[in-house]
Homo-oligomer: A and B are copies of this chain.
Amino acid sequence: MAPKKGLLERLDEGVVIGDGGFVFALEKRGYVKAGPWTPEACIEHPEAVRQLHREFLRAGSDVMQAFTFYASDDKLSNRGNESSKKYTCEGINKAACDLAREVADEGGALVAGGLSQTPTYLSGLSKEATQKEFQKQVDVFMKNNVDFLIPEYFEHVEEMVWAIEVCVKSGLPVVASMCIGPEGDLHGVTAGECAVRMAKAGAHVVGLNCHFDPFVTLEGLKKMKAALDAAGIKVHLIAQPLALHTPDAEKQGFIDLPEFPFGLEPRTCTRWDMHRYAREAYDLGVRYIGGCCAFEAYHIRAVAEELSKERGCLPEASQKHEQWAGGLRMHTKPWVRARAGKQYWEKLKPSSGRPFSSAMSKPDCWGVTAGDKILKQKTEATTEEEIVDLKQKGRLMNGK
């Protein structure tokens, strides 16, 4: 067997399909707790993490990203999270790498190690302290031979640049992805400027993940591309958006929407939304196309099916899914058979069955950002009094 091609080589030659989100999927399956988003599932329930990797591999993902989200030491002991008593950053990250590698090898996929924004930075600590947290994760990734690194889910380009600096020292390809939208980062840096700074810091691929739906995310990427072009910088672009519609989100994305995180179901994208996303991303020049929260295997499969001509293949899971609903020809009910075809699904505007709900939400807009006292890391759990106080603050901020 020929040696696997590396990430950059693959991007130069065509499209690389990322995977979907782990924390939302595993929360629904019962293995991850919303809030701390407990990455120790890799140790506690490897079979569940492994199975999710496999679903994405079958769906067409070229990358198995180790499930290391929020697995830095500082996160493991934040606000009542007691994971640090049982698990270490190193232990979790190693287990995650092992699982990713095991499944990646079943299908020739690459393994990526991910790291994200830290409570250390949000608490206003130094560059040195913040980079120390990143270095701990990168050390584990290096020891476990990941194929490349993904610093992702950063809301402040300053911290992102610090992360990239740590990552590039590894010598591995670095994919830098911020969780911001067209309006830019939380300190007011434009999306375009963020892209330029990431590239200048040494990232090989730059782009956006999480926080916004595919189409808002592509608006942000258009701004990034324009700024990179204007600066004469050539790097690849990555998009890994939510599989949730967020036209009503403001600067801070879906976190501000009142439905986050336990009432987001009606916003879930269909597979047909993903066909459109994949096509528009490709046409914009994005070559690393994947997903984040709420992206499940069938969303990734839709991306792979839309781009099957460009990639020259269909994913394994398409054996259970004929293009554009073709399998409905085998349905018992004749009127469902009549829905077998592209035009039907492309035009459908799906209803929510919720006549007492509005189409859009007014986001909470606290607008607090790194450096604000209220964001400081804290080991103890939030008390009842603090909750009451937070609710009151919310009412004042939003004039409710």
Contact = CB atoms under 8 A, between A and B. Distances in A.
A266 interface: yes
A356 B364 CA distance: 14
Interface in A247-282: 247-248, 255-272
Contact of A328 (B29, B35, B333): B35
Contact of A267 (B317, B321, B332, B351): B351
A390 interface: yes
Interface residues of A, number: 103
A245 B38 contact: no
Interface string A356-392: 1111111010101000001100000110001100110
Interface stretch (A5-13, A226-234, A337-345): A337-345
Nearest to A387: B340
A247 B259 CA distance: 21
Contact of A297 (B29, B328, B387): B29
B334 A35 contact: no
Contacts of A51: 47-48, 51
A355 to B, nearest CB: 4
Interface stretch (A78-86, A135-143, A187-195, A202-210): A78-86
Most buried by B among A51, A339, A381, A390: A339
A353 B359 contact: yes
B261 A382 contact: no
